[in-house]
């Protein structure tokens, strides 16, 4: 008995000593990479930018150290850019620049320069997906210009940590003006038949206030669509903004959707869109009406295949709430209400149609219409042989948007303003 116990104890000890501790690292012996930027460099090389957290700056001061301060002295992060043929090289070079071991388990964003994205991301995706260090939840952002410049200029004003900025920003995307894609989604989009990968589009704004809309507004629409970097704004906020969607065909970026088109994708993908929109007053076109809306039900997409041409019927149901009627026309009841509902439906139908025309032209299917088409094939071979891009480009898509005004805000019925004169009779 004693001998057996002794042997067991020895074996356990040997087991622990042989296997234990080698992977252990103290938390403060590690440099946490938060953002990785990728740009095209000359000679087919790539430029990698690593944004690394400085814990004392980001963590808000250590024990009794009294650093405190908003971001500590010397900033909350360190940025290093390397040019090398493969990402593995740059990690080794990164280790040479610092005492701590770079850990990429906490990378939260993957910023891709537009040039590099248009060149194709396939090689990189292979590295990122296979490497077990990367989180699948790391978000994918395509940026106008270079990722290096973008990372340097992005200085969140509300958050102390850049990781928190990206996580919060892309968790709250109800506006539908940008869409969250993480590494895993992107990879699935690359693999799957019938859907194209996409990435959030971001850029830094010159903050000049210049108005550069991406497209003329629809006739029912009060505002204009924008692409990130072109939003007319001034001020001292973070110059970074997210609007639009980078479209990919295979692993290459082929185009950018503007904010309205991106919202149409969000609606069709049922991404929990809710928000506000200004529409032109149907009875008094010089005035606008403010509407709060949300998706009333998951959009229905019915697919059919006629002689090799797909036909999709899309029905979208929007629930709206009136938030303001400057014209004073009583849109709460009766025919006026139907009029307003139709106006909203037309607006969204227009956006969706414009988005569909644009994506069909580019040959990229961010909504995933092809997924709905798959049951229409007789067998797997037919499915495998089908060219989904061509099918999507040839597809006929009928869009039907229905809107119901569910609530009228805090006013139950519009009363005429007392200042209105006789030539502007209240419409009750």
Q: Which parts of this chain interact with another protein (CB under 8 A)?
A: 16, 19-21, 23-28, 30, 32, 34, 53, 55-56, 58-65, 103, 105-106, 108, 133, 135, 161, 163-164, 167
Residue 12 or 361: which CB sits closer to another protein?
12
Number of H helices, E strands in the chain: 13, 14
Residue 57 or 368: which CB sits closer to another protein?
57
Cα torsion angle, 325, 329, 331, 332, sign: positive
Q: How far is the CB of 106 from another protein (least distance, A)?
A: 5
In angstroms, rounded to a whole number, what is the distance separating the alpha carbons of residues 287 and 386? 49
Residue 129 or 283: which CB sits closer to another protein?
129
Give the bridge partners for 109, in sequence order.
35, 139
Q: Which two tokens stand for residue 304?
A: 């059919």
Q: How far is the CB of 323 from another protein (least distance, A)?
A: 36
Residue 20 or 216: which CB sits closer to another protein?
20
Give the bridge partners for 402, in sequence order.
317
Q: How far is the CB of 112 from another protein (least distance, A)?
A: 21
Q: How far is the CB of 200 from another protein (least distance, A)?
A: 19
In angstroms, rounded to a whole number, what is the distance separating the alpha carbons of residues 214 and 229? 11
Tell me which residue of 204, 166, 159 sits closest to 183, measured CA to CA.
166
Residues near 8 by Cβ (< 8 Å), separated by ≥ 6?
Answer: none
Q: How far is the CB of 101 from another protein (least distance, A)?
A: 11
Residue 53 or 247: which CB sits closer to another protein?
53
Residue 162 or 231: which CB sits closer to another protein?
162
Q: How far is the CB of 63 from another protein (least distance, A)?
A: 5
Residue 23 or 216: which CB sits closer to another protein?
23
Q: Which two tokens stand for residue 338?
A: 């139907």
CA distances from 279 to 167, 286, 295, 326 (A): 32, 11, 17, 11
The pair phi, psi for residue 175, each rounded to 5°, is -60, -25
Residues near 280 by Cβ (< 8 Å), separated by ≥ 6?
Answer: 219, 220, 221, 222, 287, 288, 289, 343
Q: How far is the CB of 288 from another protein (least distance, A)?
A: 41
């Amino acid at each position: 008995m004693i001998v057996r116990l002794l042997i067991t104890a020895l074996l356990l000890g040997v087991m622990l000593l042989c296997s234990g501790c080698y992977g252990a690292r103290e938390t403060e012996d590690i440099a946490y990479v938060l953002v990785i930027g990728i740009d095209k460099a000359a000679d087919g090389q790539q430029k990698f930018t690593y944004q690394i957290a400085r814990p004392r700056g980001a963590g808000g001061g250590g024990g009794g150290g009294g650093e405190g301060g908003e971001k500590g002295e010397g900033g909350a992060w360190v940025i290093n850019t390397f040019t090398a043929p493969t990402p593995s090289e740059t990690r080794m070079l990164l280790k040479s620049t610092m005492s701590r071991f770079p850990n990429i388990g906490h990378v939260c964003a993957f910023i891709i320069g537009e040039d590099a994205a248009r060149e194709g991301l396939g090689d990189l995706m292979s590295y990122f997906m296979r490497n077990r260090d990367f989180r699948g939840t790391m978000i994918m952002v395509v940026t106008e210009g270079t990722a290096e410049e973008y990372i340097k200029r992005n200085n969140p004003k509300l958050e102390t940590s850049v990781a928190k900025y990206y996580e919060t920003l892309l968790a709250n995307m109800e506006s539908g003006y940008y869409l969250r894609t993480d590494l895993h989604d992107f990879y699935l989009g690359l693999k799957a038949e019938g859907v194209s990968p996409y990435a959030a589009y971001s850029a830094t704004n010159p903050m000049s206030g210049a108005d550069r809309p991406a497209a003329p507004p629809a006739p029912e629409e009060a505002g204009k669509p924008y692409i990130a970097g072109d939003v007319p704004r001034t001020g001292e906020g973070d110059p970074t903004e997210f609007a639009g969607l980078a479209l990919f065909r295979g692993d290459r970026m082929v185009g950018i959707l503007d904010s309205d088109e991106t919202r149409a994708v969000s609606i069709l993908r049922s991404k929990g869109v809710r928000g506000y929109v200004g529409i032109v007053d149907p009875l008094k076109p010089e005035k606008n009406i403010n509407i709060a809306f949300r998706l009333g039900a998951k959009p229905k997409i019915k697919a059919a295949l006629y002689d090799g041409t797909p036909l999709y019927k899309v029905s979208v149901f929007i629930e709206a709430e009136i938030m303001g009627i400057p014209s004073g026309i009583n849109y709460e009841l009766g025919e006026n209400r139907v009029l307003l509902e139709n106006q909203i439906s037309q607006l969204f139908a227009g956006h969706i149609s414009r988005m569909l025309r644009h994506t069909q032209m580019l040959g990229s299917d961010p909504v995933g219409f092809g997924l709905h088409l798959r049951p229409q094939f007789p067998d797997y071979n037919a499915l495998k042989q089908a060219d989904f891009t061509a099918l999507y480009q040839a597809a006929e898509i009928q869009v039907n948007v229905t809107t119901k005004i569910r609530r009228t805000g805090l006013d139950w019925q519009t009363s005429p303003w007392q200042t209105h004169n006789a030539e502007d009779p209240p419409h009750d």
